[in-house]
């Protein structure tokens, strides 16, 4: 890869490694010895192997997790004791941030600027937050004066949980599920994405160093049909925390229904950005660049459809395009660049296929629509702005999950709400206006789990996060995570 200024390249302090499963406190190969290749998204070269798990490996992992849950010490520890260990995991992650960030960039192709500022610190913050949160949260209580009784809620961990993870924010999202599960007292079997196995494997080392007892957290690598499906069907798994595509969620639900598992799903979306004509366009453009192309557009709350009120449409398109052309795509370890590579060939091919679809649908490519000139290797895609499509075209309906946005004009509030709601999914939206009444009215009218007004990707861990319609099941964050990983018993005491 060509680089212009050598002193902007960050020294690589970690090397890729072969990934094994982690079961009952030990790194182990697959029972049947199978492995698959891990491919560097920047060079397209194989840079490691990954143990390929199957039902036999999941059975061992679940047995270890079940023993650890039933025989202790994890399930029998006080919340305060568990919280101390969970805090320590966060401390170690914080101290090793650069290593974590570099591993994440190697595995995903994402730019180091992003993994340094988002992925790595957020993984540590997830543990710190839930370590504190779990020791402060209470349950409900009712005084029944008619019968002379009190009722109070008592929560206990649900048992062994399966965590099935995606590739876009691998450690950030894994720890977002794992930290509350551990804080609640559950034991865990993790299946990371087959495309990004490294930081999850590294985390196992860190958990051990922090004092998480053997068997409490187990990790099995592999594919959906093998290891994933075995988690869905395992009778000793009480619940599944899943993040990924809508279609995968449906398959998990089908297979998990036989054993009536609790399910928490964070799924895909097609998020609308709604921009009214009373805004400061430069301010909106500055955030829209981020909400469109951050992490190569591979963030679940990125806004793929940008609805702009007609009177400012031309100016907005021109200004967003000018800023987009300034983004530099290339080596994720070179700080002179802004955007890295997509995660894998399969995803690169999917994103490129939408350029063909857009062309057939009559789109205009204001920017991008191809791989960057001069980058012959790696899954790089130019930041792409599409205009000229009617809402309803495939590119405006289907989640592309890459550096691709469509800009669509609208005239009235009613019209844009109708377009935003004419969708099977409803994860998040962003509303830009200085009219306070309209801002709240629109936020309450658009069907989605999360609405950002005059901002994007601002996160308070105490608040509910999740999707409506096909974008998910349940909510996570703060008390919502705690509720998922615990079972509630009402205890009625006659006084
Ligand atoms: P994916 O559904 O393809 O894969 C996710 C995980 O599921 C992987 O570990 C995969 O191996 C596993 N899997 C696949 N088939 C399975 C099966 N039948 N049974 C059990 N496990 C199976 O998703 P992805 O491509 O890795 O992730 C991108 C998607 O995730 C996008 O749609 C994105 O919007 C979504 N996402 C949503 C959120 C959110 O918070 N709502 C966050 C991040 C990503």
Please give the domain boundaries of the chain with CATH numbers for all domains: 21-267+471-494 (3.40.605.10), 272-459 (3.40.309.10)
Phi/psi for 262 (5° steps) reads -75, 140
Instruction: Supply the pLDDT for residue 133.
Output: 95
CA distances from 460 to 35, 129, 177, 438, 453 (A): 39, 10, 15, 24, 14
How many Å apart are CA 315 and CA 292, to the nearest integer? 18
Instruction: Look at residues 189, 198, 139 and name the one whose alpha carbon lies nearest to residue 170.
Output: 198
Q: Whose CA is nearest to atom 14 of ligand 1?
A: 224
Q: Whose CA is nearest to atom 23 of ligand 1?
A: 244
How many Å apart are CA 47 and CA 19, to the nearest integer? 11
pLDDT of residue 46 exceeding 90, the answer is: yes
Residue pair 345/46 in contact (Cβ under 8 Å)? The answer is no
| Residues 243-272, mean pLDDT to the nearest whole number | 98
Instruction: Supply the pLDDT for residue 2.
Output: 39
| Residues 66-72, mean pLDDT to the nearest whole number | 95
What is the chain's mean pLDDT, rounded? 97
Query: For residues 279-302, b (16+ Cβ closer than 10 Å) or e, as one string?
Result: bebeebbebbbebbbbbbbbbbbb
pLDDT of residue 1 exceeding 90, the answer is: no
| Residues 212-233, mean pLDDT to the nearest whole number | 98
Instruction: Supply the pLDDT for residue 75.
Output: 81
Terminal CA-to-CA distance of the chain, rounded, Å?
Answer: 76
Q: Ligand 1 center to residue 235 CA distance, Å?
A: 22
Q: Whose CA is nearest to atom 10 of ligand 1?
A: 224
Instruction: Look at residues 172, 195, 153 and name the one whose alpha carbon lies nearest to residue 48.
Output: 195
How many Å apart are CA 316 and CA 410, to the nearest integer? 13
In the DSSP assignment, the letter for residue 7 is G
Instruction: Supply the pLDDT for residue 3.
Output: 41
Instruction: Supply the pLDDT for residue 7.
Output: 87
Residue 28 — very low, low, confident or very high, per pLDDT cuts 50/70/90? very high
Active site members? 266
Please give the share of the chain, as a percent, with pLDDT higher than 70. 99
Instruction: Supply the pLDDT for residue 6.
Output: 63
Pocket residues: Cβ below 6 A from ligand 1:
164-168, 173, 191, 193-194, 223-224, 228-229, 232, 243-245, 248, 251-252, 266-269, 300, 399, 401, 427, 467, 472
Q: Ligand 1 center to residue 473 CA distance, Å?
A: 14
Instruction: Supply the pLDDT for residue 54.
Output: 98
Q: Is 223 helix (H, G, I), strand (E, B) or coil?
A: coil
Instruction: Supply the pLDDT for residue 300.
Output: 97
Q: Ligand 1 center to residue 411 CA distance, Å?
A: 36
Instruction: Supply the pLDDT for residue 171.
Output: 98
Q: Ligand 1 center to residue 21 CA distance, Å?
A: 20
């Amino acid at each position: 890869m060509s680089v212009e200024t050598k002193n902007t390249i960050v020294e690589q302090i970690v090397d890729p490694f072969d990934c094994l499963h982690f079961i009952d406190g030990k790194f182990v190969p697959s029972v049947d010895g199978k492995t698959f290749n891990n491919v560097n998204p920047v060079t397209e070269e194989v840079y490691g192997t990954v143990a390929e798990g199957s039902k036999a490996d999941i059975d061992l992992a679940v047995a270890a997790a079940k023993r650890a849950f039933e025989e202790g010490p994890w399930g029998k520890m006080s919340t305060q004791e568990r919280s101390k260990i969970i805090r320590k995991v966060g401390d170690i992650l914080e101290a090793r941030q650069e290593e974590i960030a570099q591993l994440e960039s190697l595995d995903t192709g994402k730019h180091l600027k992003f993994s340094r500022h988002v992925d790595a610190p957020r993984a540590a913050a997830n543990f710190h937050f839930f370590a504190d949160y779990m020791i402060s949260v209470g349950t409900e209580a009712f005084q029944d004066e008619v019968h002379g009784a009190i009722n109070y809620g008592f929560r206990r961990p649900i048992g062994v949980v399966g965590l099935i993870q995606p590739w876009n924010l691998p450690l950030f999202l894994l720890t977002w599920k794992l930290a509350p599960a551990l804080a609640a007292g559950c034991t865990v079997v993790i299946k990371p994405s087959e495309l990004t196995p490294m930081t999850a494997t590294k985390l196992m080392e860190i958990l051990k160093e922090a004092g998480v007892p053997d068997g409490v957290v187990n990790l099995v690598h592999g594919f959906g049909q093998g290891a994933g499906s075995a988690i869905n069907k395992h009778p000793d798994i009480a619940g599944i925390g899943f993040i990924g595509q809508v279609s995968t969620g449906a398959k998990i639900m089908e297979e998990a229904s036989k054993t009536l598992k609790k399910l928490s799903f964070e799924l895909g979306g097609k998020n609308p950005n709604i921009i009214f004509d009373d805004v400061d366009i430069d301010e909106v453009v500055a955030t829209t660049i981020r909400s469109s192309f951050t992490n190569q557009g591979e963030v679940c709350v990125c806004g793929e459809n940008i609805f702009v009120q007609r009177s400012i449409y031309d100016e907005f398109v021109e200004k967003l395009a000018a800023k987009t052309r300034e983004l530099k795509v290339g080596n994720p370890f070179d700080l002179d660049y802004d955007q890295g590579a997509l995660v894998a060939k399969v995803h690169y091919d999917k994103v490129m296929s939408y350029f063909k679809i857009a062309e057939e649908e009559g789109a205009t490519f204001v920017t991008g629509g191809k791989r960057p000139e001069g980058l012959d290797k790696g899954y790089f895609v130019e930041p792409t702005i599409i205009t000229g499509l009617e809402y309803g075209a495939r590119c405006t309906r289907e989640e592309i999950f890459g550096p691709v946005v469509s800009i669509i004009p609208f005239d009235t509030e009613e019209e844009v709400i109708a377009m935003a709601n004419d969708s099977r999914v409803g994860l998040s939206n962003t509303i830009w206006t200085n009219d306070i009444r309209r801002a709240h009215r629109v936020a309450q009218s658009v069907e989605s789990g999360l609405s950002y007004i005059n901002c994007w990707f601002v996160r308070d861990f105490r608040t509910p996060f999740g999707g409506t319609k096909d974008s998910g099941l349940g909510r996570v964050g703060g008390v919502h995570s705690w509720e998922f990983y615990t079972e509630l018993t009402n205890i009625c005491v006659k006084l």
